[in-house]
Every structure is written in structure tokens, then in C-alpha cells.
Structure 1
Amino acid sequence: MRLADFILRDMEPILTKWEAFAATQLPASAYMGSPELREGAEQMLRAVAADLRTPQTREDQRKKSLGEGTGVIGVTESAARTHGTLRARAGFTVNQVAAEYRALRASVLRLWMDDSAPELTELDDVIRFNEAIDQALAESVTSFNSQIEQNRNLLLGMLGHDMRSPLQAIQVTSSYLAALNAGDDVSKAAGRLIRSGSRMQALLDDLTEFNRTKLGLGINVTPTDVNLADVLADELEELRAIHPERRIDLHVMGDLQGVWDSQRLQQLLGNLVVNAIKYGAQNTPVRVTVTGDATHVRIDVSNNGSAIEPAMLSRIFDPLERGRDSQNQDERAGSLGLGLYIASEIAKAHHGAIETRSDESETTFSVSLPRAES
């Protein structure tokens, strides 16, 4: 008997074995009944049987064995994709999902061989069946991972939203305590609360921005007609107050009038300067040079110190990346490694670009922003 015919004839025994194995995938399966454990399995097996009966080229078969096939013709979302999504929602791990397919593959082939002792001419069905299962597994795992990522992003969004109210209460209370003038001990404690609250606010802002980009929303910008020299000078004044031990120089050349989101560009500059303060040599200044020409404005943030390793340089704008040689370990511990990523996203939102060059003498981050007409 051909394998496709066997699958359709013995569907119920195959599904029984599928369900029995799925029930062992604890703890998630403990809360699932028979319909949930079998969810999508029958449709998937019928699709596999139809696939076995469909003529295919060797190239079609090769792609499916790599999980690169096109699936069943006429099916918008395969049963395997649905299965992966539902397993993710139920709390399965990706290893448990893969184990289900391994068990399905083994049980179907074992039942078929025990039933009909396939002839040599039918053994090609084994290859075709394995290729179809590989394709189903690839689709299921892709859908599983997509669902997990969506769940994570929604969790980050809710976390960021729900943390704002208690954080604001902490900041208001600490400011109130600082204003009481109730002695040095209270003032010092209030100062620590204010600094910690500001650090938490910065982390929360980074988390919110990161979550927006991962949800496909990007960085929101509201451009207005601004003088970038004034905008960036204001940001540097705040940074000098926060880091009085470090010298931060600003050099401005050319016309810096244009249409940009001033707050976002202050955020971009702040992230670059704070990065330079963290990783640059402590006894040298951080240098900010802003140059305007007919079509673009360029912002260069430079610091002296150790060169960035080439491997790190290639992924320096990736999210959650942090350098190994921060000069201030306390500040490094309070960082999510999102500052440069967010700076890059802000530049992109302005249709600009950001790049890095680094050697033993200097590291420079350069931002190029197109000049919009006012």
C-alpha cells in the first residue's frame, strides 16, 4: 500500500499516537484536552498525503527538504503554521514542537511498514514523506517564533506603560523631599532618589522606543523649522551639568537651519555623547562638530581612547549590544545597550544615516541628515 493511502486509511490510529505523545510535553500539555492536543494534526496529515500524490520535480523535493517549499497549493495558511502559533500560545517550547514532528515521522513510518511491508518501488514514498514533514516543521517553527516574538513585544509594551505611573510618583516624591530642606541626610537621600529615578526613566524610554521599532512602528518624529545649532547646544548644556567631570566641546560651521524633530535629535546627540563619555579616555574631551552644507547637515561625535574591535564595530548599532570597556561600570550596569540602536533609528526616521570609524587614536560617530525645505 502506498504511504499516502495508508495515512488516509489509518488516520485515527496515527492521531491517537500524536495525541499521546503531545500529552507528555509538560507542563503546557497538562491543561489541554484532546481537541487542543490534536489541533491541526489531521489537516496536516491530509496535506502530507495530498503532497505525496502530487508529481514533483527533484528541485521541488530538494527545497522542501530544506524547509523552503511553497506548501500546499491553494492553502493560504498551512495547518503547520496554525499548529506552531497555537503551540506557542499554549506555552510549548520550540524543542517540544520539534519533538512532536520527530515522533510523528517515526510513528507513521513504523505503522506503515508493520502494516504493509512496502516494496522497493514504494520506498521513494519514505523520502517524499520526510521532505513533507521537514517542510511542515519549518513552517510550524517559523510561525511559533513569530508568535513568541509578538508576545514578547506586547509584554514589553505593557511593562513600559504600567511602570510609568509608579516611576512618576517616585520622582515627584523625591523632588518634594529635596525641596523640604530637612537636613543633609534627607537631601542626600532625595538626591539619590532623583538620580535613580532619572536613570530608570532613561531605561524605560529606551525600552519603549525599542518596542516600537520591533512592532514595526518605527521612531515617531514631528519635524519643525529649527536651528540645529541652538537645539544641540541646549542638549550639551544639560549633559555638561550631568557630567561635570568631563569636558564636552561643540564646534559649529555653516547653515544649520532646517526642518527636523528637535527633541529626537537631542535624544540622538545625547545617546552618542553619553556613549563617548562611557567608553572614551577620561582625561580627554568629547568633541561634537556640526557642519551644514547646501544639502545635508553632518554631526560628528568624537572621543579618544581604545579602538573598537572590528567584530564589535560591525554590529555596534544592533540592539542590546554593549561594549566591554566602559570606563564607568555603574553607568554600564544601568544600560540596556539600546542607545546607539535608538540613535540609528532616529537618523533613519529623518531619512539620514549614521556610521562609525575607529582606530587607536580616535572613535567618531557621524550622522548625516538631509536638509528638508522649510
Structure 2
Amino acid sequence: MQVEEVTDHIKDMLERIAEDMDTSQTNAEQEKKSKGNKALKSRETKAASEHGAQRVELGFDIMQLSSEFRALRASILRLWAEKIRAENWETDFHDMIRFNEAIDEAWMISLDHFQQKLDQSKNWFLGVLGHDLRNPISAVYGAQAILKLSQNLSEKEKGILQRSDFSLKRMTELINNLLEFTELNLGRGVVINRSLIDLSEHSEKIVQEIQLAYPKIDITIDTTDNIKGKWDASRLEQMMTNLITNAIHHGEPGSPVKVNLNSKEGQALFSVHNQGTPIPEGIKDKIFTDRFTNNNEDTTKEKNYGLGLYIVKEIVEGHEGKIELTSTQEEGTTFTVALPIH
């Protein structure tokens, strides 16, 4: 990239700032601008936004980007101060206020697009990483399948193989969640492909598969027969898997997990219940976000709920449904999903 390409934004930004300063401004508009609420036109933001995005490509960090704007402000104010005449000080003072408002606005726009570009680059990296991790995982699965065919394994070796199988399944879940997360954060959202399915059959199948993966956990299901509707089968299976495995990982070790599926008032109600330390009231809404980590005050250790619940919420909302959480010491923890039956 040429030096001229890097510095061209300064000229464009200063021209936009000069135009802004020449435009009349009411006190109400000034207040909105100070709070970052001004509705800017695309031509006013283009130079600043391109500048921020370009700085990511050049390897700048956020402090270096900010230093550019501070240096630009200081240079212009210093040159301006040298030309101030006593008879025009009130006009110059007013113009300096407008200049500072405008440069701050350009700075914030540039920072915003710098962060957006940085997040996009990070998400692309995570997506590539997730896909690349699948190949070695598949190779280990293949090696395990061969070992399981052996008739000469001792009980100790069978136990080691079973534990490694558990770890592989957990790693696969994490990789799938990582890939789903990058899809969501790249703006693609959850794609829902509806078809007529029997939700009871799918829920029973998922419980059976998870039971095989976690033979030491008692997973029960109580379901009403023939709950049919137009949903995305693979997405709902993903939702069920995340909720059930979440209950296994975060519930009381070895405690049973209860799954329930029924219908009421035109909705399919799917719930997963487990016993264990209750989820505090203050974090129940935050637990479905993509960056939630809870600091457990009792143990001073972090309890990370991962990306699973965030993905579950996106899938549920993609089906125009709702998810609720109840959690107490006496009753345990229950996640309930309500899906409209179409």
C-alpha cells in the first residue's frame, strides 16, 4: 500500500469537518452530537469509516489509531492559534468548539469501523480454525473405531478408550459451536429450513444418541406422541443436544437429566431439567449472550457456559419461539423452549 493511499483520508475527513462547521447547528443538535446520536449522511462518514477499516489491514492497534486523531487535532489547533486575531476571538472560539465536536465524531466513526473490521477478521480466523480442526478429529475417530474392534483390550484399556471417546465427542460439540458462532457473527444468521416433522420422534432419537455418549448419566424423556409441525429438524436437534449436554456438564455430577416434550395452546414445549448449583438471578438474562462468563463467588473460579446457550437462543428465535430459564436450589434448573406449531 502506498503512502499516498494511507494519508488521503485526512484530506477527505477535513473537508467533511469543514462542511459540518459551515452548517448551522441548534443547541438540541449539538447535544445529540455530544451523545453520539447525530444521524450522519453516508458521505460524511465514508472517509472516517474507511480510515478505521484500513488501519486494521495495516496492522495498527487501537492506541495507534487514536494517536493519529490526537496528533491531527493538536496540529490544526496549533496552526489555528497562530492566526487568531484579538477582534475575532469569539468567532474563532466558537469555530474551535465545532471543530473539536467534528473531529471527535470522525474519531468515533473510525474507531467503530476499526472494531468491526477487527471482529470480522477474528471471526474469519475462528471459522477457518474450526474447519481445520475437524480433519485431525476425524482421524482420531477413525483410529478409535479400529481399536474398538480389538478383542484383546483389558478392562483398563477399555476404560481409557471410553474416556477418550467422551473427550472426542465433547471436542466435536465445541468445534460445531465455534463454527456456528462464526456464522452468526459474520452476519449470516441462523438459516431455518422448515419441513413437516414429528418432534417427538426427533427428541427421542437425540436422547438415545446422547445416552450412548454418556452411559453413566441417567437421561429420561417424557413425551407426548405425534407432536407434528413445520420446523427445521437439524436445527432443533442441535438445540436439544446443546440443552441436554449443557445440563450434563453443569448439573450435579452424576445426577439424572429429565427431558420433557408436550404441547399446549398451539405450542410445542420442550424442557430440560437437572439438579445442581442454581444459576443466580443476576445472570439469567446474560447467560444467552455470546460473551458470557460467570465469576463464581463461592469458588473464585470462572464457570464458562460457552456458546451453546447463545446458539440455542438464536435457533429458538429463528423459529419465532421463546426460551425461559428457572433455577432454584430446591427445584433445580429447567430450560423451557416454546415453539409455535405451524
Instruction: Classify the TM-score, shorter chain.
Output: 0.7 to 0.9
Alpha-carbon contact 1:258-1:371 (below 8 Å) kept: yes
| Cα offsets for 1:274-294 (capped at 9, x unmatched) | 222233334643222211235
Structure 1 residue 99 corresponds to structure 2 residue 70: no
**SS of equivalent residue, structure 2 residue 286:** coil
Distance (Å, rounded) in 1 between the aligned partners of 2:319 and 2:42 = 42
Alpha-carbon contact 2:292-2:304 (below 8 Å) kept: no
Uncovered stretches (5+) of structure 1, i.e. residues with no partner = 1-31, 326-331
Q: Paired residue for 1:23? A: none
TM-score scaled by structure 1? 0.80
| Cα offsets for 1:80-124 (capped at 9, x unmatched) | 111111112211112221221111111111111123446233211
Distance change (3 Å), C-alpha of 1:74 and 1:340:
closer
Distance (Å, rounded) in 1 between the aligned partners of 2:293 and 2:197 = 33
Q: Paired residue for 1:204? A: 175
Q: Paired residue for 1:350? A: 319
Q: How big is the shift at 1:182?
A: 5.2
Query: Which of 239, 243, 249 lines up with 2:220 in the alignment?
Result: 249
Runs of 4+ in structure 1 over 6 Å off: 332-336
Structure 1 residue 148 corresponds to structure 2 residue 139: no
Q: How big is the shift at 1:269?
A: 1.6
Distance (Å, rounded) in 2 between the aligned partners of 1:98 and 1:242 = 51
Q: Paired residue for 2:237? A: 266
| Cα offsets for 1:288-345 (capped at 9, x unmatched) | 22112351110121223332111211211112435567xxxxxx99977011111112
Distance (Å, rounded) in 2 between the aligned partners of 1:360 and 1:182 = 47
- Which stretch shifts more, 316-325 or 43-52? 316-325
Q: Which residues in structure 2 correspond to 1:182-201 (within 5 Å)?
A: 183-184=153-154, 190-191=161-162, 193-201=164-172
Structure 1 residue 280 corresponds to structure 2 residue 251: yes
Structure 1 residue 134 corresponds to structure 2 residue 104: yes
Q: Paired residue for 1:62? A: 31
Distance change (3 Å), C-alpha of 1:179 and 1:312:
same
Q: Which residues in structure 2 correspond to 1:1-374 (within 5 Å)?
A: 34-71=3-40, 75=43, 77-117=45-85, 119-181=89-151, 183-184=153-154, 190-191=161-162, 193-253=164-224, 255-282=226-253, 284-293=255-264, 295-322=266-293, 337-362=306-331, 363-372=333-342
Uncovered stretches (5+) of structure 2, i.e. residues with no partner = none
Amino-acid identity (%): 34
TM-score scaled by structure 2? 0.87
| Cα offsets for 1:242-297 (capped at 9, x unmatched) | 32332222222364122323332222122112222233334643222211235111
Alpha-carbon contact 2:263-2:269 (below 8 Å) kept: yes
Distance (Å, rounded) in 2 between the aligned partners of 1:192 and 1:276 = 19
**SS of equivalent residue, structure 2 residue 288:** coil
Distance (Å, rounded) in 2 between the aligned partners of 1:315 and 1:142 = 23
Alpha-carbon contact 1:199-1:334 (below 8 Å) kept: no
Alpha-carbon contact 1:177-1:187 (below 8 Å) kept: no
Equivalent residue letter for 2:324: E
Alpha-carbon contact 2:273-2:334 (below 8 Å) kept: yes
Alpha-carbon contact 1:299-1:368 (below 8 Å) kept: yes
- Which stretch shifts more, 295-304 or 277-286? 277-286
Q: How big is the shift at 1:159?
A: 1.7
Distance (Å, rounded) in 1 between the aligned partners of 2:294 and 2:106 = 40
Alpha-carbon RMSD: 2.7
Equivalent residue letter for 1:257: K
